[in-house]
Each structure stands twice: as structure tokens, then as C-alpha cells.
Structure 1
Amino acid sequence: MIDYINISSSIDFIKYHGGICVLDTQQDSSMDFGLKDSIYQNVFVNVDAYEGLESAFLGDSLKEAFRIILIPSGIDQVLLYHHKEVIAKFLDKGGILLSFGQNYKEWLPGNSLYQVSQTPLKNRKILTCKHPITMGVRDYDITYRRGVCGFFSRGYFNPPKNAEIFLKDNADCCVGYIDRDSTNGVILSTAGADLFGYGLFEQSTAKRLGLNLLIYLAEIVKERC
């Protein structure tokens, strides 16, 4: 059993260091991902990527850059591709980047681009690997939603060399990885899997993914302070 009594201290620590910037090109898509749910205690800061992408990654005269930036799955990837040098600078300075996208443009260092699984959805299972982010999460709860497969992720990445894989499918393909080698920063990338919103509104262990991730991110920030 995982004790989340002290989750507020992890969230407060992240908020003290600027919170988690959610880059948005969908007119407040954060609502779609459950990011405004009270469980997350306002740790997320929504930023219009068309107006504030560069200042979010690199800072400006008014404020410093964010330490943690989240790229939701519905973002305009052409915009990200045109600003890939900005993203690279953010990571080279030690930034933490979370990407939940089905990447079809080469904007993310080390990423191999999204591939659709050839395993039929009814036969495909998502499996947790032993990792702090997946502690207490049942494979069934991320494979199935109300008895139906495919909502969490329908594809995979070929992970970068030396990446930590924390989610995979039953064909041993990578669904989620952490890359500390491609840049000076930390990249967490999933193949279309929303770690903060999935299972949040159901009686499911999948909702632990978001809480575990916040605890994990707080530890990474502490390492880099």
C-alpha cells in the first residue's frame, strides 16, 4: 500500500520551483487531461504555446524559464518542430521535459517517432515495469477502461540508448521511457499515454500514475537544485 499522505509536500516543492508548465495549443486543453482536478492542487500552469513557448523554455526579462514543461498529446507538433532549437537549449540547461505525444515530427531529442502497434487491440496489453512511477499500478487498469482496450496507448517508441523503460506492451515494445543521456536534461516520453489524466475519474489504480510522477519529479528537481 502506498502512502500519499505527504503528497502535498512534493507538490508544494514543485510549485515553489515554478510548477509544471503545460504548453497548450488547444485553447485550454488542460481541462481534457484532468489537470485542474483538486488532486493536483494547482501545480500546473497553463501557457498558450503560440504566445509563450520561447519564454516558457528560456525565460524572459520578467521571469525565469520553467524547470518542468509538459507537452500534452494534442499539441501542434509543427510548432514544436519549428522551435526544436529552443527545446534543445532548455534541455541542455538541465530542464525536465514531459511528453505525452504520438510524435510524428522530429522535435524531441533522442525520440524515434511514434509507431502504431501491429498487435490487434483486443490482444494488446500494457505492462508496468518496476519503477517508482508505476508503483501500485495494476497492468489491468491501464490496459482496460471499462473493459475496453486501447484508450491508454495504441503505439510505441524505439527507446533511446540507456533509457529507463517504465511502461511496455506485451510485444516488449516501449510505451514510456526516461532519457537522461541524449541531453543534459531529463526527458520523460510516452507513446500517447496521459499519465496525469488516465483513470483519474474512475476507481482505478491508474490514477496513481500522476501522483507517483509528481513525487518522482520532486526528487529530480531536488537533485538538480
Structure 2
Amino acid sequence: MGSDNLAGGVHDDPRLGEVDLYRLPHTDLSSVRGLIIGGGSDQIFLERNKDLLTEFATSGGRIAVMGHVLTDFLPGLGVWRKLAYTGPKDLAITLGDQHPVWDGVDPVDLSTRKGVTGFYARGYVDKIPEDALVTTRIGRHALPLDYVYPLGQGQVLAHGGNDLTGWANDPNSSSKLTTQLVDWLVQR
């Protein structure tokens, strides 16, 4: 799967299918409940299709946005900023507002992977909507990292790091993220 697909690399969940990003304007989304936009997706193309994505969410759909958001392809998306870090404490993840995607996930399992910090994220997000739930924070200053906000009748989840679907095979509590993300996406 390349970065031009929407599905976030989750292949074994029967509730998911892949959509080539560049076919999105020609795809019938009427039976789709949620979209995962992978971190490597073409944000310029997404911005050109902002109306389509906005309509999907405002009509009740859920969208999970992964990675470093640098363009305005959905109303309310904050802008990713690289964190100035000098050590593990600067990249430590803490939980914020409760949300089912992070339910039961130990922030230590997000902070360190294979003995290295920074896999989960190395930045933060600014200018998030006032009504957003900040679900995780990063670093000594607990800067906002992951957040969820309403958009019309739908919701947007934004994660400012590596795709949450990439944690499915981890040997600790972080492996819950993928299933819980998909569970959240298909709810209405």
C-alpha cells in the first residue's frame, strides 16, 4: 500500500477497504462511515478536495487524520510544529481527555518503542478548535498532540505523528490503538 491510499495500512479488518486517494472524488462514500487519511497522503490534493471531505464529516462521517498536517484540508485542523527536543522527557506522551481510541493504552508504551523515544510523535499541534478534546500531550510542557473535534454532525480525529494503525502488532497496550480507532470510525 502506498501513501496514495486511504485506509492507513490496516488490511486484516473486514470493516475496512482501501480507496486510492486520487479516486476519492469519484468514489461513492454514501455507505462509508469513516476515513483514515494516512500521514503520507498528498495534502495539496486533499486541500483541493476540502469541500468533499468537509461534506463527508458534516453529514455525520468520521475522519482520522494521521501525520504532520501542514495544509488546511479540513476546517479546524491545527498545524503541526516540530518539537525542539533534547532527550526522552521532551518526547514523553501523557494522556489528556478520555477518548475510546486511547482507552487502556499506557502512555509509557507510546513514549518508548523498542527502547527508543519519538516513534509516536516528535511534534505538537497548535491552533486547534476550542471545543476539541486533547487526548494526548507531548513533552515537559504537555503540548497538544492528538485531538478530536466535532465537525457538523461528524467528528475529526487528528494525530500528529506516525499512523496509529502502525501499532497493531506491538507487544504491549499500544496494540489496542488500531482496533479502537477502527471501532470509533465505524460508530454513528
The TM-score bracket by the shorter chain reads: 0.7 to 0.9
Cα offset for 1:29?
8.2
| 8 Å Cα contact 1:94/1:185 also seen in 2 | yes
Gaps of 5+ in 2: none
Q: C-alpha distance in 2, partners of 1:197/1:67? A: 21
Task: Decide which structure has the larger Cα Rg and report it.
Answer: 1
Number of equivalences: 184
Q: TM-score by structure 2 length?
A: 0.86
Question: In structure 2, what is the equivalent of residue 168 of structure 1?
Answer: 137
In 2, the alpha carbon distance for the partners of 1:207 and 1:100 equals: 17
Separation in structure 2 between the aligned mates of residue 213 and residue 53 of structure 1, nearest angstrom: 21
Letter in 2 for 1:178: V
Rounded to whole Å, the distance in 2 between the matches of 1:138 and 1:176 is: 15
Aligned position for 2:10: 35
Q: Does 1:215 align with 2:183?
A: yes
Question: Does residue 187 of structure 1 match 2:156?
Answer: yes
Structure 1 pair 131/66, CA: closer, same or farther in 2 (3 Å)?
closer
Task: Check whether the contact 1:195–1:209 (CA below 8 A) recurs between aligned residues.
Answer: yes
More helix by share: 1
Cross-structure match for 2:48: 82
Is contact 2:124–2:160 with CA below 8 Å preserved after alignment?
yes
Q: Does 1:73 align with 2:43?
A: no
Distance change (3 Å), C-alpha of 1:49 and 1:29: closer
1:119 and 1:128, CA in 2 relative to 1: closer, same or farther beyond 3 A?
same
Query: 1:131: Cα distance to partner?
Result: 2.9
| Aligned-partner Cα distance in 2 for 1:75–1:194 | 11
Q: Give the whole-Å Cα distance in 2 for the aligned partners of 1:172 and 1:100.
A: 20
- Distance in 1, Cα, partners of 2:56 & 2:9: 26
| Per-residue deviation, residues 62-91 of structure 1 (Å, max 9, x unmatched) | x73522111000001110011112222222
Percent of aligned pairs sharing the same letter: 24
1:18-70 CA-to-partner distances (Å, cap 9, x unmatched) read: xxxxxx7636686xx5512x4xx3222111111x21244xx3xxx73522111
Q: Measured at CA, do residues 177 and 146 of structure 1 come closer, stay the same or move farther in structure 2, by a change above 3 Å?
A: same
* d(CA) in 1 for partners of 2:173, 2:164: 12
Partner Cα distance (1:70, 1:152) in 2: 17
Give 2:21's match in structure 1, choosing from 36, 43, 49: 49
**Whose strand fraction is larger, Structure 1's or Structure 2's?**
2
Q: 1:137 aligns with which of 99, 102, 105?
A: 105
User: Which sections of structure 1, spanning at least 5 residues, go unmatched?
Assistant: 1-23
Distance of 1:110 and 1:29 partners within structure 2: 20
**1:154 Cα shift?**
0.9
